[in-house]
Structure 1
């Protein structure tokens, strides 16, 4: 990154999501990033936190965006209609480019109660018809940077001198920061990346304002949209107690967004086309375990 003056990040807005207790088998859900505010989160669209048993996210289609699924606890069984199958454990992440026609299932394995965080990541119009792909990032394959009083695990992008293995079509950073009580750490991101965080455990202070955010709290961060990816920005963090936080960032995609169930496109006509394609069998056979 360049030697220009550093942009110092602050908490722009923070909140604590409300959780709906749905009962068995979709035990609980919280919407961390509300898609109605997607312009504020771009390139991210939504983030959902779910606790569920088997049978909630069986065979279903997607088009026009990407997903990044972080397994908090339990075992996640992935099945796709191209013959893919995998089991993901706590700390593992699955990246999916839905592209033009994904069809998959994300199930709790066996009798597990699975706990996941899933981000929807937009695709620009030029990439919405790309080929569908999946990538599993195992917790042991995400590099860990040891810092004074903690660790930084890098799933995507270049953070703290390490590069994460995720191969996202829309470049993002994703890191998991674990700090002991009283630890100070400065997180460095490209200044033009829009960024948000989600607290997995404990309590931390963020920025010069020392805004305190505790477990289940989420926040958006200030950034310089007119800046460049080569210029650095810094977020000062201090652990009030033993803590863990996920931080995501990416360059905003300033295009119109149209939603329709499992599809994210640029117009309602494209959404209607996606539903027609699904009915015509364009998305292929069901995603079921062979």
Structure 2
């Protein structure tokens, strides 16, 4: 699981521990992601299945793509498809993905890169492995997160952000036992490169066996911890056990506690988690397929606009 890493965590800025009077966030719920297939048949885990949308707000859904070792000829992607009313965030941990959209956005993202696409008023989009990966096969692992847009931004002009791994803010826990990658938002005064319409934070943390990460968290944001690999506990003073493919939903507080088990599996020697939080939008949601709007009529309008070609044409068409 390469993403981006550092050989010596002691050289990084530290995330200080809780201050006097700071309260830990308790765990409200732990869910296990069901497995399925998306696009042309690549395996996914539905990370937020079973979590009430009120607790996810401003997030809609998240898929863990892989981890899968493809044989030559097996790598798969998606066909051209529409989006409106939200943002897709694609974070590649291992492997390579090509992206294109009908507004001219796109590019190639690989280990530790993120593609942040604001669908806004509507576009067509395609995601696929490059021909070289299809020919050779190889390891593929990533995430796609859907972030809702508030009513006033639902029809904003589409935007594409190409966030390279080298732009991510890197921090270490207080005892240098955990690496924190800040992709968007801010942690302990250090900001990630992602520009967001909705105030939110997204990090990927790697916690060494037996180490503990106390992560300061915006009190106005909700908090979700998804386990990419490994096993450990979340929450304090009462902790909940979590393992690969599980999501912990946390309550209010000033910081999040994540601890890696002393013993990890050989194939997943460290605890890998994605931590998400955002300011809830608290607006009605009408969600059907690739459209996330506020009313049923707006979803009908989105389908009509798509069918009449108002989202543009596939690149090269």
Question: Given the two structures, how large is their TM-score scaled by the length of structure 2?
Answer: 0.81
Tell me by how many angstroms 1:4 deviates.
9.0
| Aligned equivalent of 2:259, options 235, 238, 243 | 238
Cα distance between partner residues in 1 of 2:75 and 2:130: 7
Q: In structure 1, list runs of 5 or more residues that go unmatched.
A: 225-232
Are the counterparts in 2 of residues 47 and 118 from structure 1 also a CA contact under 8 Å? yes
> Given the superposition, is the C-alpha separation of residues 67 and 248 from structure 1 closer, same or farther in structure 2, using an over 3 Å criterion?
same
| Aligned equivalent of 1:65, options 86, 109, 112 | 86
Secondary structure, counterpart of 1:7 in structure 2: coil
4+ residue runs of structure 1 moved beyond 6 angstroms? none
Q: Where does residue 138 of structure 1 map in the other structure?
A: 164
Q: Where does residue 53 of structure 2 map in the other structure?
A: 38
> Given the superposition, is the C-alpha separation of residues 82 and 30 from structure 1 closer, same or farther in structure 2, using an over 3 Å criterion?
same
Q: Which has the higher strand share?
A: 1
Tell me by how many angstroms 1:122 deviates.
0.7
Tell me by how many angstroms 1:58 deviates.
2.1
Q: Where does residue 277 of structure 1 map in the other structure?
A: 305
Question: CA offsets per residue over residues 73-101 of structure 1, 9 Å max, x none?
Answer: 22110111223331111221111111101
Q: Where does residue 96 of structure 1 map in the other structure?
A: 117
Question: CA offsets per residue over residues 172-209 of structure 1, 9 Å max, x none?
Answer: 10111112112122111111211111112221222211
Tell me by how many angstroms 1:7 deviates.
3.2
| Aligned equivalent of 1:210, options 225, 235, 239 | 239
Q: Where does residue 127 of structure 1 map in the other structure?
A: 153
Q: Where does residue 167 of structure 1 map in the other structure?
A: 195
Cα distance between partner residues in 2 of 1:137 and 1:210: 34
Q: Where does residue 5 of structure 2 map in the other structure?
A: none
* 1:78 and 2:99 correspond: yes
Are the counterparts in 2 of residues 71 and 116 from structure 1 also a CA contact under 8 Å? yes
For structure 1, which segment, 121-130 or 199-208, has the greater mean C-alpha deviation from structure 2 after superposition?
Answer: 199-208
Q: Where does residue 208 of structure 2 map in the other structure?
A: 180
Tell me by how many angstroms 1:36 deviates.
7.7
Cα distance between partner residues in 2 of 1:141 and 1:82: 24
Tell me by how many angstroms 1:8 deviates.
1.8
Secondary structure, counterpart of 2:45 in structure 1: strand
Cα distance between partner residues in 2 of 1:156 and 1:64: 20
Are the counterparts in 1 of residues 222 and 279 from structure 2 also a CA contact under 8 Å? yes
Cα distance between partner residues in 1 of 2:305 and 2:158: 15
Tell me by how many angstroms 1:55 deviates.
5.4
Cα distance between partner residues in 2 of 1:159 and 1:169: 18
Secondary structure, counterpart of 1:33 in structure 2: coil
Cα distance between partner residues in 1 of 2:242 and 2:307: 45
Question: Given the two structures, how large is their TM-score scaled by the length of structure 1?
Answer: 0.88
